[in-house]
Chains A and B, each alone.
Chain A
Amino acid sequence: MKAAALAMTTFKEAIRKKVLLVLLVFAFIFIGSSLLFTYFSGGEEIRMVKDVGLTGLLIFGLLISTFLGMSLIPAEIEKRIIYTILSKPVRRLEVVVGKYLGAALAVLVMVLLMGLVFMGLIFFKEHTLSPVAMLAIILTFFELLVVLAMAVTFSTFASSTLSVVLTIFFYIMGSSSDSLQYLGGRSDSPLLKVAVKGFGYLIPNFEIFNIRSQVLHGDAVPGLYVLKAIIYGLLFSAALLIVAGMFFHEKEV
């Protein structure tokens, strides 16, 4: 109940942030712009819509998640609201989890709105809904949950700028995870092999959430794969939040 109270207040505060609304408007424009490109690409129209739409959803989702995550706890400290919150019988982990859930709810609303525009465009072009595109939106949301958890974790010990840099860095590393593992596996150095393997466990593998090629080619995605990806995202987020809770527990505010 305490985490729920924190989540609801955080959600209400998040959806009032003007910068988020601006990002959302830009996302709509970006996703909608795919309609312009279709005149130049002949039969590839629908692929263009899907490609640009998914890219827009991911890029603006990343911006929203990173922005929300990095400011979630530092803003409370800066505004000194954290004093009254922590003067109540609340554990610091509850604060981290509650605030994270509120931000996650805000990200969900943003993804749903962007997803609605995206699906609307597909429907406009194909006169049918693409279930794989819907799965891609769902997986993007769970991918963003991990990004949000990363940003929150970094913000508990690093400055805002450093949190953003670290989140972007680890997102890029995590998005190249499979390639890194492949290269590491081919290396002659046993030390590098171990390092790359360890790295693989520590950094979330964002490629798991990527079903872009299936969406573009209209291939089916097994339900079990989606379920596994969702569970992976949830577990990784939970692990990150525990780490964030530990850092926040040690932090003097």
Chain B
Amino acid sequence: MADVVRTEGLTKYYLNFWGNKAVTLNDLSISISDGETFGFVGPNGAGKTTTIKLLLGLYRPSKGKAWIYDKPVGDVAVKNLIGYLPEGPYYYDFLTPEELLSFYGKLSGLHSAAIKRRSDELLEIVGLSGARKLQLRKFSKGMLQRVGLAQALISDPKLLILDEPTSGLDPLGRIEIRDLILRLKKEGKSILYCSHLLNEVEMVCDRVAVIHKGNLLRMGTMEELLSIEGELEMVVRGFNEELLSRIKEASVSISVLDSQEALVTVDSRVNADKVIDIVRGSSAVLVSMADRRRSLEDLFVSIVKGGKAS
């Protein structure tokens, strides 16, 4: 697949009066493929927004290069392919959603008829059709975020750059925005999803990069990052005490889920085979077997606290 975003050694630092460097992004090399939802996670001040600003040409890199659709970042022509939702956005609050979309549509070079058609479509998608004549000053945070998403989508961009799209929203607002993003993902949009809300990222993204203090610490698919090497989890239904005591010898741990099912964790394929054989020789049933996964949060904490790149 073609690279939608590519960075090579992207670095941003500032020199203070005494010539000391304050590095906000250090040697970042990533690529995002077409149709991929790429999570960019890190604590506040990790370098996520700096990366976005570099990709949008709002900052100039101190070192390294970045391309969007094989064109150098900052190229005006490529910006029609990008939709950007900034963190905690502010818009002209005396405008209505219709006027706001018309403004951004004109900036995107769209004609009036296209703007009208696209605005109607987007207001419907983000669920603001009923509020199209309402000034933005009367909007809630969630509504502003939805109108922000609509402005990002006005030129039907192929790449969406979303900076903390759900932060500051209540649980319902968060679900609404997440569902919208999942819908856009299904439509084939490439998405760069920056957030420190890890469960959101886990639900939405295909691949993740963990960044901390400007350094890329880990990058990979969800599967690669979250599965614990060699460990498997098996759910056994219809167990009894005797069966569990036999399984115990081959397993790392057993948790009884309810009166019917138990979760067995094993540390190798060989031990998994042993458990399978034991279950087959009994009246119990093996319901499922999968690689043991940790949550992104667990991984994130271990990486950030460890602080080592890999």
Asked whether B58 lies within 8 Å of A16 as measured between CB atoms, the reply is no
Please report which residues of chain B, range 219-267, place their CB below 8 angstroms from some CB of chain A when the two chains form the complex: none
Q: Which residues of A contact B82 (CB under 8 A)?
A: 87
Asked whether B79 lies within 8 Å of A88 as measured between CB atoms, the reply is yes
Interface centre among A12, A80, A83 (most CB of B within 10 A): A83
Q: Which residues of A contact B91 (CB under 8 A)?
A: 81, 84
Question: Knowing A89-B79, A91-B76 touch, does A84 contact B60 (C-beta < 8 A)?
Answer: no
- Tell me the bound Cα distance from A85 to B56 in angstroms: 11
- Of all chain A residues, the one with the shortest Cβ separation from B58 is A253
Does A90 belong to the interface (CB within 8 Å)? yes
Interface centre among B58, B103, B106, B107 (most CB of A within 10 A): B107
Binary contact readout A62-94 vs B (1 if CB under 8 angstroms, 0 otherwise):
000000000000000001110111111111000
Does B168 belong to the interface (CB within 8 Å)? no
Question: Knowing A2-B106, A252-B60 touch, does A84 contact B94 (C-beta < 8 A)?
Answer: no
- Taking a contact as CB atoms closer than 8 A, the residue among A16, A83, A88, A252 that contacts B107 in the complex is A88
Does A9 belong to the interface (CB within 8 Å)? yes
**Residues of B in contact, count (CB < 8 Å):** 33
Asked whether B92 lies within 8 Å of A81 as measured between CB atoms, the reply is yes
Question: Knowing A83-B58, A84-B91, A252-B59 touch, does A90 contact B107 (C-beta < 8 A)?
Answer: yes
Q: Closest CB-CB distance, B270 to chain A, in whole Å?
A: 54
Does A221 belong to the interface (CB within 8 Å)? no
Does A5 belong to the interface (CB within 8 Å)? yes
- Tell me the bound Cα distance from A119 to B134 in angstroms: 40
Binary contact readout A227-253 vs B (1 if CB under 8 angstroms, 0 otherwise):
000000000000000000000000011
Asked whether A88 lies within 8 Å of B60 as measured between CB atoms, the reply is no
Asked whether A86 lies within 8 Å of B57 as measured between CB atoms, the reply is yes
Interface residues on A, range: 20 to 34
Question: Knowing A13-B94, A81-B90, A87-B79 touch, does A2 contact B58 (C-beta < 8 A)?
Answer: no
Binary contact readout A6-24 vs B (1 if CB under 8 angstroms, 0 otherwise):
1001001100100000000
Interface centre among A9, A16, A90 (most CB of B within 10 A): A9
- Tell me the bound Cα distance from A9 to B84 in angstroms: 20
Please report which residues of chain B, range 53-88, place their CB below 8 angstroms from some CB of chain A when the two chains form the complex: 53, 56-60, 76-77, 79-80, 82-84, 86, 88
Interface centre among A6, A13, A87, A89 (most CB of B within 10 A): A87
Q: Which residues of A contact B102 (CB under 8 A)?
A: 5
Asked whether B77 lies within 8 Å of A89 as measured between CB atoms, the reply is yes
Asked whether A9 lies within 8 Å of B86 as measured between CB atoms, the reply is no
- Taking a contact as CB atoms closer than 8 A, the residue among B60, B83, B94 that contacts A12 in the complex is B94
Asked whether B86 lies within 8 Å of A88 as measured between CB atoms, the reply is no
Asked whether B79 lies within 8 Å of A9 as measured between CB atoms, the reply is no
Does A1 belong to the interface (CB within 8 Å)? yes
- Tell me the bound Cα distance from A253 to B74 in angstroms: 13
Does B151 belong to the interface (CB within 8 Å)? yes
Q: Which residues of A contact B188 (CB under 8 A)?
A: none
Does B13 belong to the interface (CB within 8 Å)? no
Q: Which residues of B contact A2 (CB under 8 A)?
A: 106-107, 109
- Taking a contact as CB atoms closer than 8 A, the residue among A5, A83, A253 that contacts B84 in the complex is A83
Asked whether B107 lies within 8 Å of A5 as measured between CB atoms, the reply is yes
- Taking a contact as CB atoms closer than 8 A, the residue among A9, A16, A80, A252 that contacts B103 in the complex is A9
Q: Closest CB-CB distance, A208 to chain B, in whole Å?
A: 36
- Of all chain A residues, the one with the shortest Cβ separation from B78 is A89
Question: Knowing A89-B80, A91-B76, A252-B60 touch, does A84 contact B92 (C-beta < 8 A)?
Answer: no
- Tell me the bound Cα distance from A1 to B115 in angstroms: 13
Does B89 belong to the interface (CB within 8 Å)? yes
Does B108 belong to the interface (CB within 8 Å)? yes
Does B95 belong to the interface (CB within 8 Å)? yes
What is A's interface to B at a CB cutoff of 8 Å? 1-2, 4-6, 9, 12-13, 16, 79-81, 83-91, 252-253
A-B contact pairs, 23 of them (CB 8 A): A2-B106, A2-B109, A4-B106, A5-B103, A5-B106, A5-B107, A9-B103, A13-B94, A83-B56, A87-B56, A87-B84, A87-B161, A88-B79, A88-B108, A89-B76, A89-B79, A89-B107, A89-B109, A90-B79, A90-B107, A91-B76, A252-B59, A253-B58
